[in-house]
Amino acid sequence: MIEVDRLEKNYGLARALKGISFQVAKGEVIGFLGPNGAGKSTTMKILTGYLLPTGGRASVAGHDVVADSLQVRRNIGYLPESTPLYGEMRVDDYLQFCADIRGVPRRRQRAAIARAVELCALQRVTGKNIVELSKGYKQRVGLAQAIVHEPPVLILDEPTSGLDPNQIVEVRKLIERLGTEHTVVLSTHYLQEVEKSCTRVIIVNQGEIVADGTREQLVHQQPAGALRLVVRGPEAQVMAQFRELLPKDCPIEVRERRSDRIEYRVDIGTATAPVDEALARLVIKNGWDLLELQRERQSLEDVFRALTLRPQQEALHA
């Protein structure tokens, strides 16, 4: 449904996109992630026909975004970060207007609008002016205008920005439901949305794709994370033995002291050997009691920070 091949975008001397490539298959729900300024919104604006690329190519539903821009727009439902609403219009009038400009045939408009209203749970507010609605309902109206023409592809840029926790849950459920009927590209800073709603994750940083895969694949590709140990033994000796055993890039910290039980956290870093086994043998060899040993489960947030913060820090120290 979407094909991006060596896509580039320059703003003067600044390179927003540096030749990114990816594909999105029919029915996929893609989480498109990155820090501010990474190139997410630029990519979405090129896919939706708002911007022209500097180089490379992109297509949606088989139509080139430059050579066949109008067909691309017919196949896309787009919700930009700032929801495009006319506050003085009633909800039903606004959706009628969107159906008109989207080219929905008159004979199908009533059914198309009813479907959008039902999917977005707008039945209670269709007769209200948009300016009277809460932020959550306004966001639902924005989603309704994106789907009123029943496009195969939805591109959603920060759909839960500015919402309260209850509204975020409501919109997230709506996105999950839309994902059963559409191919969806979702850009957001709320990683919980991606973990719950998306089948695949693409992370961009400084105009380049730094990761592409399922959540499980991305977590598995990262360094092992950290170990949590609870040991009964003399703290100074335990710390000294741990530091002697582990590489220098494996920080150790004491998390909690409970009488003679001490909880340690060991950041495994880049260690490739089975560190947990080595630490267990060390504790037993010294006659201390190993009360707990477990590996901390990495999250998508850990992966995101590792892939986007580390390059910035390395650039600062270079």
62 Ramachandran zone, left/alpha/beta (phi>0; psi -120 to 50): left
Q: Note the pTM of the prediction, 2 decimals.
A: 0.76
pLDDT at 169: 84
Tokens encoding 146? 């994106």
Instruction: Decide whether 2-220 matches 223-295 in CATH topology.
Output: no
Cβ–Cβ under 8 Å, residues 159 and 31: no
Distance of alpha carbon 172 from alpha carbon 153, whole angstroms:
17
Residues 6+ apart with CB under 8 A from 317: none
Number of neighbours of residue 90 by Cβ within 10 angstroms: 16
Mean pLDDT by 10 residues, the chain (318 residues): 96 95 94 91 93 96 95 93 89 96 94 94 94 90 93 91 80 83 88 85 94 86 77 92 84 86 82 78 93 81 80 47
Q: Rg for the chain (alpha carbons), in Å?
A: 25
pLDDT at 172: 82
pLDDT at 314: 47
Cβ–Cβ under 8 Å, residues 154 and 185: yes
> What's the CATH code, domain 2-220?
3.40.50.300
What CATH architecture is 223-295? 2-Layer Sandwich (3.30)
pLDDT at 287: 94
Every domain of the chain and the residues it spans? 2-220, 223-295
The SS3 call for residue 252 is strand
Distance of alpha carbon 22 from alpha carbon 252, whole angstroms:
39
pLDDT at 165: 84
Instruction: Tell me the pairing of strands 153-157 and 183-187.
Output: parallel
